[in-house]
Structure 1
Amino acid sequence: MAGFDSRGTFQKAANEYTKIQDTFPHVIRDPLLADMAVKEGDRILDLPCGTGDAIVRAAQIAGPTGHALAIDVAPSMIEEAKAKAEAAGLKNIEFVVEDMEKAQFDAAAYDIVVSSCGPFFASDLKAFLTKLWGAVKPGGKLVLCTLGRNFLAPISGVLLDLAQSKTDDLQAPTPWRSTEDIRFLKTLLGEVTNGQRVNLAHRSVIMDYQTPDAGWNLLMATAFRNYTLELSPESRAEIEAEMKEWMRSNRQTTATCGFNNITIVKDDA
């Protein structure tokens, strides 16, 4: 079977992703906004922007003198983000559907460049991070959030076991493993930024999803949805039923997520 399909996965996950972001703002959005520390008039670049949870709020803070460019490969994610911006009455935000590695934007033009839970999908991580760093203007900052170890444990492991049990050739690529190692991240970012100070904080968050239905929706809002894309409808239905029964019988209502939050300020020219 095919490898990891980022576009297909998140094109189908937009609705669940929005609900999860709204239910658990403290997991990704709020810490990200705290690291961004947006000021009025800031120019902000966000890719991949997902359903716009952070960038729409950031654009509100930046105000009419600021500007935000939000990029994502999945049209459904961009549509969700546009709806949020329209509901907020924002005119200072531009949305683009594009692969994050192919996206075009000005160099040294942004006060804040942010990439949350996306860098690990890059085919060349160092080149992608270098491209992001090049977009940061002197005195600006690069803000990243990557997944740490134990992403949605223990339910993620159960899902992978069930998915692989339904087919003989299902591969289980986990691209986020490339950025879960803190030492690797610091070393790589040191090379990308020519030795700028890397501020990295690890967080471990418990998500209380409360019901098996909500636990399944949580999985389907994330990259783990990828492993159901090429299965037959019958196999997907079996996996969903077995996952929910496992959560019920084990009284499992929480999942642990590790995150690495990174901020790097570029020296003034």
Structure 2
Amino acid sequence: MPTASTKYASDPYFDHPVSSFWHRFGRQTVERLGLRGGETVLDVCCGSGGSALPAAEAVGPQGKVVAVDLAERLVQLGEAKALAMGLRNIEFKTGDMLALGYPDASFDVAVCVFGIFFVPDMVAATKELWRMLRPGGRLAITTWGPDLFEPANSAFWEAIRAERPDLLKGFNPWERISTPAGLREMLSEAGIESTEFVAEAGRDPLNAPEDWWLIVMGSGYRGTLAQLDAATLARVREKNLAALRDCNAITTNVVYGSAGKVA
């Protein structure tokens, strides 16, 4: 189950160039918002700053970005990146997006890229983000589209099935909102009706099957692999990569959702 929030800042796989799509989609989310100088932005499930750092650049020194993630190492890496970029208008925090404690109408913009679906109650989480927006504020939620990382994803789980069928997952949490209609329904349940959606089809190249394993080791698939002993892990890797000998790209479909709060 891939998520930037489970990658580790000290890990050589984290932020590897082959996984650059994490940050590309974060930047595109920010570009679609058309941020203005001086605005305040809340970025939850921020990872190491894929959307938060470009947001800080966009709002300028008179604006501010608060970037929140549960993973302390990711927060630390984001802070290091901001320092290297000379960005003094961004604050990285370790915390739960459902318990931030900000009052109503604290931000102009709220952003969540590839994270809302990991909250058990997506509707409640979205309501909380909406509550913290000022009148006229904007909300952006970016999620995965259908067929994420195929055909490599299916090959991975087939390799797991052969070795540890007890670890198979029957449902990915983003599947409920992997289409504009699904994301619209979720936002509607949160009481948000003024919405826009863009579904973007994508394919990211694999120069070799080993590129896929770099993605696996730098994402939430690691949570499954951590439950394998060394010999089983080696067999899973071999089976997974053998199935990808003729694969030169993986599917990276995305759905961008946005909503405006009545002024």
TM-score over 0.5 for the pair: yes
User: Is residue 137 of structure 1 aligned with residue 134 of structure 2?
Assistant: yes
Partner of 2:42: 45
Which amino acid is 1:255 matched to? I
The unaligned stretches of length 5 or more in structure 2 are none
Whether the 8 Å CA contact 2:43–2:52 is kept in 1: the answer is yes
Superposed counterparts of 1:179-258, under 5 Å:
179-195=177-193, 197-248=194-245, 251-258=246-253
Which amino acid is 2:247 matched to? Q
Which amino acid is 1:182 matched to? P
Separation in 2 of the partners of 1:11 and 1:141? 30
- Report Cα offsets for 1:8-61 as digits up to 9, x if no partner: 843489653422487337851232122222211110000100110221121122
Cα distance 1:100–1:17, how it changes in 2: closer, same or farther (>3 A)?
Answer: farther
**3-state SS of 2:7 partner:** helix
Mean Cα deviation higher: 30-39 or 251-260? 30-39
2:95 to 77, 90, 98: 98
**Cα RMSD, aligned residues only:** 2.4
Mean Cα deviation higher: 92-101 or 35-44? 92-101
Where do 4+ consecutive residues of structure 1 move more than 6 Å? 4-8
User: Is residue 63 of structure 1 aligned with residue 50 of structure 2?
Assistant: no
Q: After TM superposition, give the deviation of residue 170 of structure 1 in Å.
A: 1.3
**3-state SS of 1:223 partner:** coil
Separation in 1 of the partners of 2:9 and 2:56? 26
**3-state SS of 2:243 partner:** helix
* TM-score, reference length from structure 2: 0.90
Mean Cα deviation higher: 19-28 or 33-42? 19-28
Cα distance 1:15–1:41, how it changes in 2: closer, same or farther (>3 A)?
Answer: farther
Whether the 8 Å CA contact 1:46–1:55 is kept in 2: the answer is yes
**3-state SS of 1:53 partner:** coil
Separation in 2 of the partners of 1:238 and 1:8? 26
Partner of 2:257: 262
User: Is residue 77 of structure 1 aligned with residue 55 of structure 2?
Assistant: no
Mean Cα deviation higher: 170-179 or 200-209? 170-179
**3-state SS of 2:98 partner:** coil
Q: After TM superposition, give the deviation of residue 62 of structure 1 in Å.
A: 1.4
* TM-score, reference length from structure 1: 0.88
Q: After TM superposition, give the deviation of residue 187 of structure 1 in Å.
A: 2.1
